A and B are shown apart, each in its own frame.
Chain A
Amino acid sequence: MHTSTLIIVLLGLMSLAYYMGRKRSLNLVSGRVRDLHSLPSYYGLLTALWCGIPAILLLVVWISFEGSVVTGLVVDSLPQETQNLPPERLNLVLNDIRNLATGDIVSTTVDENMQQAADHYARLQGISHMAMFVAALSLAILAGFIAHRSISRQQRARNRVEKAVNFFLLSSSTLAIFTTIGIVLSVLFESLRFFQQIPVTDFIFGLEWSPQTAIRADQVGSSGVFGAIPLFAGTFLITLIAMVVAVPIGLLSAIYMAEYAGRHFRSLAKPVLEVLAGIPTVVYGFFAALTVAPFFRDLGASLGLGVSSESALAAGVVMGIMIIPFVSSLSDDVINAVPQAMRDGSYGLGATRSETIRQVIIPAALPGIVGGVLLAVSRAIGETMIVVMAAGLSANLTANPLEAVTTVTVQIVTLLVGDQEFDSAKTLAAFALALVLFVITLALNMIALHIVRKYREQYE
């Protein structure tokens, strides 16, 4: 039997428990519901919860410890000389045993000991599985039975069920906090290991990035330099180009939509522009690499300029297109939040529409617009697929948008896609970069949200 079958069986037991609990409560008062403390369905729910939750908790605990316990027992049964191997070698042996037990391909020749160990492993796992089934099902039946017996007229079933639901609500909302803690810890932990190998100052102030580390000490040209400045510069350059495209177009279209456009035009143009926000970034990346980058290269060639086929310009422009709806919808919100009285006052003094917009509305909405632009910047910095597909791979410290540059996110992807060794500086560097990325976007966000909130309070 599979674990999923067990869960289905448990669900079945829970519905049975619901039915039984409900029936018992009704039988207790022989159908007169008003004599019960709670509605009959609450007695049913309480029984079902008692039946399901302890068993599911047991399952979770069992599954998370099963692997290490079984592995430990198998290791104990191995010959002494195998047990004394260094941890990495021992892991290889264990892997082979596991593969042998499941019938997969084994990397070494199979000898007597290994075959025994594999059989032992398979047997232990079988026992553990069986035991898990029996334990979970008997716990479910036992707990459900006790809950069923303890149903009485005065039992505060509703309050208990509500308490359980409340606990579920609370724990769901704390998941966000656990996610943040998880991100910080996982990134920080590996980054610290990275900084044990490479000094922090080299990482933050170094001007050269070449993450290939030597496998053997005598190899040439694979020193491994981890200076992140070229990556930050590349990220900054592409973000700047994206903003140069996105901010004017996004802002002006928001102004036109809010102040000039007629109803029909707005109801037509707005959804079409919002389509841009729903397109996956991988599509933009393909568009940039296949259409935009060759276009800029040919344009440059016809003007006598050498434009790289992975130019920062192409990636930046396409990223700008992606961000247009983001800027325009945020600006739309803040422009609409400017009180009508300010517009009326300006018109009353004889100002034209454009004068009102430029001299009254924009200054009033400026903090909100700045906040929106900062949010857009943080999006652009963290954007991955467009730059992975359209920007370069090698670090290049330049301010020329026609050359190829690389970004923080591109390097994270190139360092982590493929084989990873969690003891080499090369893999760990990705986590250090991610830490920087996380801190920068978080800071930008905090500032932006703060500004936007301040601005909202001003007009409320």
Chain B
Amino acid sequence: MTRVEKSLARRYRQERNFKRLGLGAILLGLLFVSFLFISIFANGYTAFQQTFIKLDVFYDPEMIAPVGETDPDVLSAGNYGGLVKATMRELFPSVTSRRDKKKLYGLISTGARFQIRERVMQDPSVIGQRESIWVPADDDVDMLIKGHIDLNLPESDRRIKDDQLSWIQGMQEEGRVEKRFNTTFFTAGDSREPELSGIKGAAVGSFFTLLICLAISFPVGVAAAVYLEEVAPKNRWTDLIEVNINNLAAVPSIVFGLLGLAVFINFFGLPRSVPLVGGLVLALMTLPTIIIASRAALKSVPPSIREAALGVGASPMQTITHHVLPLALPGMLTGTIIGMAQALGETAPLLMIGMVAFIVDIPGGAMDPSAVLPVQIYLWADSPERAFVERTSAAIMVLLAFLISMNLLAVWLRKKFERRW
């Protein structure tokens, strides 16, 4: 008895330590989650704003077209780049040398000329008049205004030079520099210029890809689950199918990409980088997830339901379609949504089928070349410009928002329709 009592203190200490260890592990996990989210958010929230510069543009008839011209071909051929440059020279008359002028022009985004062209094409009557418009600043200026450029570095290491700095300060004092909500980010496709790039192209591509994926994997997955759970005879063939599905669930996703490359692109000759092929590959990849979830949903329907239906004279197929499927459907939908969330975040197989191409246009259908959101993130993460870091983080935030809402929908479905028998 005394020996036990003597050892008690040590044993209780061990107990406490062990408990702390477990708690520590969980807290560490939670720490990782919060650290990841904070790091993404801290890098990304600034991307939702964009620096604009106010220019007093004189729509010079000599550079665009004579006053009164309305022919769109003539209007679109105007020298709008020269117009922006002239406006900048007018703003800073003291800048004369070639090199300095080049630096001066670099403050304005190359998108400015397209914006001015748009303006003139819409309303040709502005030619010959003067107007103040806000145009996007170059990404380096944007980074400076947002405080991402370290001014303590020597000038040669900075993307913004000292005289550019003084011009920007001059414009700031005149109230010509302003940060506004970045609508371009949500309405444009990809671009080499960070200030002109957006995620709409990738988001639309993701939408088409998921649509194809859903159209294939949901019916096929549910049918396969119904067959295995309700119809299939217990024999070796069924066992083989089951083992196969379990193994497919663990095949690395990149291998599905190689399958897509070899079968859909090389063998069937489908075009590269299109949502159709991406959707097919992702459908094959998510199929095991959907089948496994659907089988679990079918299993949870009690046998008494089937027996009752059969007892009043329903055929086995009627039992399934009229009674079992409706009861299992919420569970199947939950599994499908989770599978779709997985497909939305998947990158590696899409790299294999060429969805990494640089695509500016917003796709109009499942056969147009397009990017998808995660691939867009990968492409931007590889770009050297500092401004793409915040856009990558912002794109991640958008992707995570989609994923979280899909998962919440799944949880809500499960909560709403869950039945305990």
Contact = CB atoms under 8 A, between A and B. Distances in A.
Pairing of A with B: yes
Interface in A269-315: 269, 272-273, 275-276, 278-287, 289-291
Which of A173, A186, A352 gathers the greatest number of chain B CB atoms within 10 Å? A173
A67 B269 contact: yes
Contact of A276 (B29, B258, B393): B29
A131 interface: no
Given A176-B288, A252-B22, A255-B22, A413 B345 contact: no
A275 B262 CA distance: 34
Interface in B217-253: 219-221, 223-224, 226-228, 231-232, 240-241, 244-248, 250-253
B25 A281 contact: no
Q: How large is the interface on B (under 10, 10 to 19, 20 to 34, 35 or more residues)?
A: 35 or more
Contacts of A282: 345, 347, 374-375, 377-378, 381
A158 interface: yes
Contacts of A412: 254, 258, 352
Interface stretch (A105-113, A135-143, A429-437): A429-437
B252 A383 contact: yes
B246 A449 contact: yes
A422 interface: yes
A284 B232 CA distance: 41
A226 to B, nearest CB: 17
Contacts of B315: 158, 162
Nearest to B250: A445
Nearest to A251: B25
Contact of A389 (B220, B245, B258, B378): B378
Contacts of A417: 351-352, 356
A162 B231 CA distance: 12
Q: How large is the interface on A (under 10, 10 to 19, 20 to 34, 35 or more residues)?
A: 35 or more
Interface stretch (A6-14, A214-222, A353-361, A398-406): A353-361
B399 A283 contact: yes
Interface in A163-216: 165-166, 168-170, 172-177, 179-180, 182-183, 186-187, 189-190
A176 B241 contact: yes
Contacts, number: 248
Chain B contact surface mostly:
helix
A437 B315 CA distance: 46
B401 interface: no
Contacts of A132: none
17 contacts: A173-B223, A173-B241, A175-B224, A175-B287, A176-B244, A179-B287, A183-B258, A186-B262, A269-B30, A272-B30, A276-B33, A281-B345, A321-B36, A354-B17, A382-B253, A385-B347, A438-B255
Interface of A: 64, 67, 158, 162, 165-166, 168-170, 172-177, 179-180, 182-183, 186-187, 189-190, 248-253, 255-257, 259-261, 269, 272-273, 275-276, 278-287, 289-291, 321, 324-325, 328, 350, 352-355, 357-358, 375, 378-379, 381-385, 388-389, 409, 412-413, 416-417, 422, 430-431, 434, 437-438, 441-442, 445-446, 449
